[in-house]
Amino acid sequence: MIGLEGLVKYFHRGSVNEVLALAGIDLQLAAGDFVTVIGSNGAGKSTLLNAIAGTFPVDSGRIVVAGEEITNWPEHRRARLIGRVFQNPLLGSCPSATIEQNLALAALRGQTRGLAKGVKGRDRQRFGNELARLGLGLEKRLGDKVGLLSGGQRQALTMLMATLVRPEVLLLDEHIAALDPKTSTQILAITAEIVADGRLTTLMITHNMQHAISYGNRLLMLHQGKVLLDLSGPEKERLTVQDLIEQFHHAARGEELALDSLLLA
């Protein structure tokens, strides 16, 4: 589970460029929640994920993951609890290493790393079985360098790397935004399968309102660093894009929703 209490984050505090990115967010996620997160540019979506991951310290508030308060933990220490996939397919893997070498490193997350043979025979069998689930033929390319893969193949591999050792929390930061529509659909299907199979507590940022409605069991809309809408259960299941726009309009007291940054495709 994830617990956020009074999370506040400023950027450029005390200057003319001061921005309040997180304005006292309180949020509780149960184990296994798959939460989609939407909001216009600058709403605080990526800042929220960065705060959980430990990319920067928050100004105030508490962060609890799996019963452990991690508010003051450095990013590398949080990595044993948190898996993350970024928007850019080039992040999250090493292009000059092979597929099996990348997976071998991912399998050591949270462990002390010593001197040993990088990839053992039993590892290859396990990696092949895991890759076969993706349906991309990567199990036949264990010795290929990751830099040779397409963006979609690399993002699918990164998804697998982030969850090879089951994380307490999976953070997906617009992880399909850089992909073409066909590949995006494929990666979303892989994402849904991995999350469901592992019952992973997941936060997925998307700029696509239809994706936010179709995936996950809970939907958050952020606005000006606050949770404006929190929808789940039958309320989420009945949602349409037009419903979501109208609920934003009502909750934000008549403000216009930036539809150019929340794609309707």
Coil, strand or helix at 195: helix
Mean per-residue pLDDT, 90-106: 92
* Cα(263)–Cα(265) distance, integer angstroms: 6
Name the helix (H) or strand (E) containing 205.
Answer: strand 202-205
> Which own/partner pairs from 23-29 qualify as long-range (CB within 8 Å, at least 24 positions apart)?
23/224, 23/225, 23/226, 24/61, 24/226, 25/61, 25/225, 25/226, 25/227, 26/227, 27/2, 27/3, 27/220, 27/227, 28/1, 28/2, 28/3, 28/4, 29/1, 29/2, 29/3, 29/201, 29/203, 29/218
pTM of the model: 0.91
Do 175 and 155 touch, CB atoms closer than 8 A? Answer: yes
Name the helix (H) or strand (E) containing 186.
Answer: helix 181-198
Does residue 225 have a pLDDT over 80?
Answer: yes
Does residue 21 have a pLDDT over 50?
Answer: yes
* Position 74, amino acid: P
* Cα(104)–Cα(106) distance, integer angstroms: 5
Does residue 242 have a pLDDT over 80?
Answer: yes
For the stretch 138-195, pLDDT in tens is 999 999 999 999 999 999 999 999 999 999 999 999 999 989 999 999 999 999 999 9
